[in-house]
Amino acid sequence: MEVKRLAPSDHLFAVEVIRALKSPDGYPIPSEDHLRHFLSRPANILIAAGDGGIPVGYVVAYLLDRVAGSRGMVLFYEISVAESHRRRGVGTKMIAELKSICRAHGVAKMWVQTNRSNTAATRLYSLTGAQPPEEADEVTFTYFWDSLMNPDPAA
């Protein structure tokens, strides 16, 4: 099992990762050029797990600068592990790689969102050192395209 952060030169494997793990859910496969560009930006993190060259997992995360300090943060955006490789340590290994990247960048904190009902995710995050909020007061608001394009929220 190989787990690594993909570089721009790994863009073809990135296409295979997306095709194998996101496309079955109807997600469009990005072009090779798009993934090469995505991987060339230092703030974008795509970690992939392969088993004999076959993609079996990925993590997407983003390094973020903070206005109030020199130590950045990481938004751990998503994780996916092929059903055939779940509960075999793939997610744990990819999160360990992400934590290693965080240490190398002196990151102050990393966060990931999920639903409490997603027991597999909450178990994985807890086992890898994440701490849930003490109170369930967090709310996620989403600005979709229509609201972004409307400069007057009262309209």
Mean pLDDT of the chain: 89
Give per-residue pLDDT as tens, 48-98. Answer: 999 999 999 999 999 999 888 788 999 999 999 999 999 999 999 999 999
Sign (positive/negative) of CA torsion 11, 91, 121, 99?
negative
Task: Determine contact, residues 78/114, Cβ cutoff 8 Å.
Answer: no
Assign domain 2-149 to its CATH superfamily. Gcn5-related N-acetyltransferase (GNAT) (3.40.630.30)
Amino acid code (one letter) for 62? Y
- Among all chains, which residue has been given the structure tokens 């807890």? 126
Give per-residue pLDDT as tens, 104-148. Answer: 999 988 999 988 889 999 999 999 999 887 776 666 666 666 766
pTM given for the model = 0.88
Domain boundaries, the chain: 2-149
Exposed e or buried b for every residue in 51-77, given b needs 16+ CB within 10 A? eeeebbbbbbbebeeeeeeeebbbbbe
